[in-house]
Structures are given as C-alpha cells and as structure tokens.
Amino acid sequence: MGILAVRRWSSLDPLERQRLLARSTAQIFEPSLMASIEAIFRDVAERGDEAVLAATTKFDGVSFSSGAELRVPVADLAAAHASLAPGLLAGIREAVANSRLFNEAQLAETAGGWRQEVRPGFLVGEQFGPIPSLGLFVPTGKASYPSVLCQIGTPAVVAGVPRIVVLVPPAPGGGGAVDAATLAVAHELGMTDVFRANGPAGIAALTFGTETIPQVRKIVGPGSPPVTAAQVLAQRYGVATQMLCGPSESLIIADETADPWRLAIDLLNEAEHGADSAATLITTSEALVAAVETAVADQLPRLSPVRAAAARAVLGDLGGAILVDSVSEALDVANAYAAEHVQLATSDPERTLAALRYAGEALLGQDTPIGASSYTIGIPATLPTGGYAQLSGGVTARTFLTSTSTARLSPEALAGLAEPTLALADHEGFPAHANAFRLRGLG
C-alpha cells in the first residue's frame, strides 16, 4: 500500500464521503469530550483561579503557587523580544507588516462608515467600531507558534480593540515558561495582558473572568479539539467565537500541468501538523497521483521522525488523493469540502477560482504555496475549518468590528412609509406600533 490513500469520488459510498467531508470535526463534538470540557467550565465558574491552576497542573504538568503566576510579567515580554535571533525577529516583523498592510487596506473600506440617500429624504447607512474586549488563544505543545499571534493579533490591533488578552499554555516540561517567540510577538504588537494556563481552562477563565484573568466578549485562535470544543462551549455563556479554527486542513486542485514535486511539498506542508489534520489532492489524473506518491516518498526523509509519522497518518487516512472525472467535479467536491486552505494548481487558476465558492483562502498557482500564506503573505491564515468556510472567512480586522445600522427620515419620507407600515402593524396586532404613525397624524 502506498503513502497516499487514493479514492475515486464517484465510487465512494455516502458514509465515506461524509467521513471525509467531516474530517476531524467529529472529535470536537464527541459527547465525552464535550462533557469533560463542561466540567472544566463549571469548575472555573465556581472556583476561578484555583480551578485554572488545578487544570494546568493536571493537563499540562505545570504547577504554579498562586493565581498571580498565571500572568506573564511585562518585563518577560521585553526580555523575550530582546533574546530572539535577528533572523527570527525579522521574520516576525515581516509577518506583522504584511498582515498590517492587508488589514489596513480592508479597514479603509469601512473607515467612517457609509450613508446613502436611497430615496428622497430616506437616508440609511452603517457605522463601525471595535469590539470592547478580546481573548487571543495561541497554541503550544506540538510546536512554537508565534505566527498565530502575528495572524490574529495584528488585525485586532489594526481594528483598535481596546483590551486584548493573550492566552498561551505553558511549554510542556518548561517549568511554566512560555514560548519566547510568542511573547516577543506580543511585545512587538504592544500587548501586555498575557496569561499562561491550560487551554480549555484558560478559555473558561476568559469566558467568566477570574481573580486574575479578565473576562472578554470574544475569543479566537486555533487549537486542538479540546481547545476548539471549549470555544464552542463559551458561546453558551455569551462569548462570541470564530467557528471553527482547527485542526488544520488543505485541498489542492491540480490538473495534468501541475508539477508533482511541488504538489508533494505543499501536501506535506499541511500533513505534518498532526494526525488530526487533513491534506488532500483532487485531480483528474491518475498519472499525476502516481508521480506525487513518488515525490512524497522522496521528501518524507527530510522531515523529523515525528513530523514524518504525522504526515503518513494524514495522507493515509483523512487526506491523500481524490480522483475525479472532470475539473467541474473537482470544484463540486471542493465546494462541499469548504477547506481552510485551497491551492489552485491548474493551467488557469483564475478561471478555476471563478467556480470556487467556499474556501478559507484560495492560493493561485504553485508559486503561491500554503507555507507562504501561513507566515508572511499577510492575508488571513487563521481560517475556518471543518466546512465552516461555507459560513465565514478568516480572522481579519473586520472580525473585530461591530456594525451599527443608521437611518434618518425626512417628514416627507416618514409620511411615505405610513400606509405600508400601518398595514403590517394592524395585521400583526401591535396598536402601539401603529400609533407611532396615527398619533403623529399619519394614516
């Protein structure tokens, strides 16, 4: 058996199609996991810092003596920033700068809101402003992820969110230390409210507020199924989240013109995240799949044993290759899948893009790899997973804005609305609504 699981879409039964389209989402909503997260939430709601400390000891193997130690001292942020190798700091600054360019360009479209006279004397519009508070979750454990804070922190700063709280689990076996590169990003972005705690317990703390960790109105950030489940549960208590952000996934739509070596590079880019990820090639060409299989086998030894094992697990199960009978069928599958990352490795990616309706991001051509978008292109890289790209997009400055609709009527415009409004109010049996017009002498 090869490294790539190869399936022909037209031959799959409905259950297998459903499994591939669901990918790891089922883990997030698994009843026993949700029950365990609910127990953590109840504990944090009742005991505050004490519960967060207990969960961090139990699940992360890190013990703190008091709730005060959950906060990372501001001096540690500056020290981490100063300690970084120049090349890494330059990479962080490039990522932040390009993300800032994208988000400032996006925000320019909404600056000052808009207002339009749609009929004589009939003005409607919107005004926009930042949400009041935000929690940013940055994962750790499998690796160091300063890029995540670049991706979700920069748009929050551009949006002007007045209170931004960063939550990072302590590094395993690090005695409570937090990844220095992530702390350096916080310092670079001017963030000072940084906390270290177990992921689900920390998200519960952001949801309810504790003696040390402040309550916020929205939480975003990618993570493991338990972290994502915690964000889902937070919505029950009135906290907004971004659905869903993790585990990672990608689709590559390729035709016979694609370079199999580069296809293998970009499949492995996503597959190395972990066994719960998905990295899938969709193509009409069996010959291309065979060539990609060879290229993947050649490239796997370049990965560490842990990453290579993860890639094999992904490409042999939830990922691999899907053979389709036409490019049209490939796009049907892609739109049903609604992947986090989609790369268009076709002879005419612009034409392919025109038929792609649902994707967290679309990368056109093999010179626009997922690896670049994950770090330094500057477009959103924290994106909806599990099919939620059919409902939402990536984390941008717009994610952190509120919208207030506005209207202003002239006396003449108000009079023009009397007859239709009275008809509706009378039909629905709301006399006070009708009196808003009748007692003004209208109708």
Of 42-56, 67-81, 377-391, the one with minimum mean pLDDT is 377-391
Helix (H) or strand (E) holding 336: helix 327-337
- Predicted confidence at residue 41, as pLDDT, reads 98
Residues acting as catalytic residues: 340-341
Residue 105 pLDDT class (50, 70, 90 cuts): very high
- Phi then psi for residue 408, to 5 deg, are -145, 130
- Nearest alpha carbon to residue 33 among 311, 341, 392, 276: 276
215-272: pLDDT as tens digits: 999 999 988 889 989 999 999 999 999 877 777 899 999 999 999 999 999 999 999 9
338-372: pLDDT as tens digits: 999 999 999 999 999 999 999 999 999 999 999 99
Q: What is the mean pLDDT of the chain?
A: 94
- Which whole number is the average pLDDT over 292-311? 95
- pTM confidence score: 0.90
Residue 1 pLDDT class (50, 70, 90 cuts): low
Residue 297, token pair as written in the block: 């086998």
- Residue 139 near residue 190 (C-beta atoms within 8 A): no
- Predicted confidence at residue 23, as pLDDT, reads 84
- Which whole number is the average pLDDT over 376-394? 91
In this model, does residue 26 exceed pLDDT 80? no
Distance in angstroms (rounded) separating the CA atoms of residues 237 and 199: 17
- Predicted confidence at residue 350, as pLDDT, reads 97
- Predicted confidence at residue 142, as pLDDT, reads 62
Instruction: Tell me what percent of the residues of the chain surpass a pLDDT of 70.
Output: 99
- Predicted confidence at residue 112, as pLDDT, reads 82
Helix pair angle (86-108, 180-188), 10° resolution: 40
- Predicted confidence at residue 22, as pLDDT, reads 87
| 188 or 27, higher pLDDT | 188
- Residue 314 near residue 280 (C-beta atoms within 8 A): no
Residue 174 pLDDT class (50, 70, 90 cuts): confident
- Predicted confidence at residue 276, as pLDDT, reads 84
Residue 276's alpha-carbon distances to 97, 145, 206, 233, in angstroms, are 31, 17, 26, 21
C-beta atoms surrounding 149 within 10 Å: 31
In this model, does residue 24 exceed pLDDT 90? no
- Predicted confidence at residue 120, as pLDDT, reads 94
